[in-house]
Structure 1
Amino acid sequence: MRLTDQQVAAIRQVVSAVCGDDATVQLFGSRLDDDARGGDVDLLVVLPEPVERPAMLSAQLSAKISRHMHGRSVDVVLSAPNLTTTPVHEIAAQEGVTLS
């Protein structure tokens, strides 16, 4: 996994502050490959409650986390009871590593 302990802590802090302590975060995509270089940060944020404005929430999380990552691009995929599951959700759930 190509994230520092400080980056993981910052991601968890932002998600907790914005979404609450019950939200979980999984890293997936190219950042899991220790031999790769560069690439954006792909996150699946799983929420136990329905989300009213998912696009706004995703953008807010992405922007806040990106600031902690020195401007690195951050893609946030949300999972909540009222949101449709897509193939990217399945990939993230299968391949993702929970950040704790």
Structure 2
Amino acid sequence: MRLTPAQINTIKSTATAVLGEGAQVTLFGSRVHDDKKGGDVDLYVEMDQPELMKKIRCKVSLQDQLDMPVDLIVKPYGDRSPIAMIAKQEGILL
């Protein structure tokens, strides 16, 4: 995984602060692979009731703190969309 422990802590603490205690964050995409370079941070978050404004606040805060682009997908628990399935199968729960 191409994130430092400090970056992981920032992601988890920001998601909890902005989206709530129950938010589950999964890293997926190119940053999961040590052999790849560059790329944004792709995060899939499951929570009880996703709210657009909270998602926007979380994304902006993460981009500011990490100083890199963040793609943030927020869905309700149990979502079975294609992106949810990919994130859950290929990603790493933070």
Relative to the length of structure 2, the TM-score reads 0.90
Separation (CA, whole Å) in 2 of partners of 1:84 and 1:24: 13
**Residue matched to 1:50:** 49
**Is 1:21 matched with 2:17?**
no
Q: Deviations over 1:55-95 (max 9, x none)?
A: x332221111111111x1100011215x9643111100111
Task: Point out 4+ residue stretches in structure 1 off by more than 6 angstroms.
Answer: none
Q: CA deviation at 1:20?
A: 1.4
Contact 2:19 2:58 in 1 (8 A): no
Q: Number of residues paired by the alignment?
A: 94
Contact 1:25 1:43 in 2 (8 A): yes
Relative to the length of structure 1, the TM-score reads 0.85
Q: What SS class does the counterpart of residue 38 from structure 1 fall into?
A: coil
Identity of aligned residues (%): 37
Gaps of 5+ in 2: none
Gaps of 5+ in 1: none
Query: Residue type of the partner of 1:19?
Result: L
Separation (CA, whole Å) in 1 of partners of 2:79 and 2:90: 19
Contact 1:41 1:74 in 2 (8 A): yes
